[in-house]
Amino acid sequence: MKTRFAPSPTGYLHKGHIWSALCVSAIAKAKNASIHLRLEDHDRLRCSQYFSDIIKKDLEWLGFKWQSESVQSERNEIYEKYFKFLQKCNLLYDVYKTEKPKTMFKNPEPIGDFAVKDAWGQWTYMFAVVVDDFEEDMDLIIRGEDLEDSIDKQISLAKVLGRKEMPQFFHHSLLYGSNGKKLSKRDGSEGIFMEREAGIPAEKVISDLCRVAMPNLEIPDEISWEDAAELIGWL
**What domains are there in the chain, each with its CATH number?**
2-74+133-232 (3.40.50.620)
**What is the model's pLDDT at position 176?**
76
CA gap 81, 199 in Å, rounded: 46
Residue 191 sits at the vertex; the CA angle it makes with 190 and 197, to the nearest 5 degrees, is 120
pLDDT digits (tens, 9 = 90+) for 73-82: 999 999 999 9
Determine the pLDDT at residue 81: 98
pLDDT at 73: 96
pLDDT at 99: 79
Q: What's the confidence (pLDDT) of residue 5? A: 98
Closest alpha carbon to 48 in 74, 14, 10: 10
What is the DSSP track for the chain? -EEEE---SSS---HHHHHHHHHHHHHHHHHT-EEEEEE----TTT--HHHHHHHHHHHHHHT---SEEEEGGG-HHHHHHHHHHHHHTT-EEEE-SSSSPEEEE--SSTT--EEEE-TTSPBPHHHHHHHHHHHTT--EEEEEGGGGGGHHHHHHHHHHHT--SPPEEEEE---B-TTSSBP-GGGTPPPHHHHHHTT--HHHHHHHHHHHH-TTS---SS--HHHHHHHHTT-
pLDDT of residue 188: 44
Where the chain has pLDDT below 70, the residues are 177-189, 234-235
Q: What is the pTM of this model?
A: 0.91
